[in-house]
Amino acid sequence: MARSKSSNRWLEEHVNDPFVKQAQLDGYRSRASYKLLEINDKDRLIQPGALVLDLGSAPGGWSQVAAKLVGDKGRIVASDILPMDTIAGVEFVQGDFTEQAVFDQIMATLDGAQADVIISDMAPNISGVNAADQAASMYLIELALDMAHQALKPKGSFVAKVFHGEGYDEFVKAVRAVFDKVAVRKPDSSRSRSREVYLVAKGFRGG
């Protein structure tokens, strides 16, 4: 089957992408690792000894970064529908966290502890229908914020990928309502034509 022009363009970009090459050299599982590294350099979210919850973690690029940042005294709890190869220091729960049983498993893994930071690089499977894709991505991100209400400690931080489009402004308002500081970041490693940005929220007011 012939590849479409857009998939050819993606492949060409991917092969020539300096962040893809750097990820291979540095041993990271995806170029997305550099997005979290860049955000953390600027916003100092993940501290040694922290408990981090990584939603939509596969293939593990963000969990790898977070595990290094928290060090031996920290903990990473990660979850994704897709399987993820083991990472030292990361406890992984496979399944759809929108399902009660998987949510319960994540909470059981946290074992009564609340996360210092919740990170989410989740995106839905893209159908190519913009309105449907945007709705699906907003649904995921709203669930990530709901998880923050359940599992983030007061004064904790939240980082999530959001796509500009329908529902974006309302979501930013919802985050501002429960966090002291909210910034929008577009890391250098995020492709310029992508509509993605990262909301970085600090000072969770709880509840």
User: Does 80 count as an annotated binding residue?
Assistant: yes
Residue type, 181: K
Identify the residue whose tokens are 């897709």: 82
Candidate list 73, 161, 186, 202, residue with the active-site label: 161
68: annotated active-site residue:
no
User: Does 17 count as an annotated binding residue?
Assistant: no
User: Does 112 count as an annotated binding residue?
Assistant: no
Q: Which of 207, 195, 188, 74 is closest to 63 using CA atoms?
A: 74
- Helical packing angle, 100-110 and 130-151, nearest 10°: 40
User: Does 49 count as an annotated binding residue?
Assistant: no
Q: Is 85 exposed, middle or buried (0-12, 13-18, 19+ CB in 10 A)?
A: exposed
Helices assigned H by DSSP within 17-114: 18-26, 33-43, 61-70, 100-110
User: Does 180 count as an annotated binding residue?
Assistant: no
Which positions make up the binding site? 60, 62, 80, 96, 121
Binding site, annotated residues for S-adenosyl-L-methionine: 60, 62, 80, 96, 121
Q: What is the set of active-site residues?
A: 161
